[in-house]
Amino acid sequence: TQLLEQSPQFLSIQEGENLTVYCNSSSVFSSLQWYRQEPGEGPVLLVTVVTGGEVKKLKRLTFQFGDARKDSSLHITAAQPGDTGLYLCAGVGHSGGSNYKLTFGKGTLLTVNP
Amino acid sequence: EPEVTQTPSHQVTQMGQEVILRCVPISNHLYFYWYRQILGQKVEFLVSFYNNEISEKSEIFDDQFSVERPDGSNFTLKIRSTKLEDSAMYFCASSDQGPYGYGYTFGSGTRLTVV
């Protein structure tokens, strides 16, 4: 059983469409982060959400942390081919554990077709 | 934009050999980490390092592995007697504010291939 379940695993859409990817867990986290990873590169931090119910926006990307701090979503508006990549969620401090290590999901591979 | 630098980018080694992976974290960061990603699998935590000592390690990080901060800038991961299953991308990361993961920055990784 994965601690952090991401869905969908793969997503292929047309330019201009909207999409939402999900990160779910049965565990409570101190915070949740979203990363984007390109092939052969390290994950790049997009956002950190800490407070239950928190919403953060980064241009066309909207991130939400669930009220119970067990889940999160990433919504992209008007997707562009440059948004193509692997989106990873990572939790910090699950169930009162370490606040210094990240527990990653397996990721959502997004392809935006021109 | 400050970055975490890892060398080498690729390393091929024979089974049983020792390898040292090197990292230069962001200069004002205090917390250092190693993660690995086996091809097609998720990124996994190996070890965290703070104040010149290991603060946490995973069950993957057994006696085969060790970390060191030999000077004020470098952070190394040593793998003794490598095994085929050690083949993976190894990522170094550093962070400044500790809790909640703020400021977490990953390097581009070292691809280790054990043959």
Would you call B56 and A101 a contact, using CB atoms and an 8 Å cutoff?
Answer: yes
Q: What CATH number corresponds to the domain at position B26?
A: 2.60.40.10
In angstroms, the CA B73 to CA A31 distance is: 28
What total of structural domains would you count in chain B? 1
Contact B93 A45 (CB under 8 A): no
Q: Where are the domains of chain A?
A: 5-113
Short-list A48, A104, A74, A3, CA closest to B33: A104
Instruction: Say whether A105 and B42 touch across the interface (CB within 8 A).
Output: yes
How many residue contacts between A and B have a Cβ separation below 8 Å?
76
Look over chain A and give the mean of its residue pLDDT values, rounded to a whole number.
92
> Token pair of B72, please?
């004020």
Distance from CA of A97 to the nearest CA of B (A): 11
Instruction: Tell me the residue range of the domain where B17 lies.
Output: 5-114
Low-confidence ranges of chain A (pLDDT < 70): 1-2, 94-97, 99
DSSP letters for B3-30: --EEE-SEEEE-TT--EEEEEE--TT--
Tens of pLDDT along A9-41? 999 999 999 999 999 998 888 889 999 999 889
The domain made up of A5-113 is a member of CATH 2.60.40.10: yes
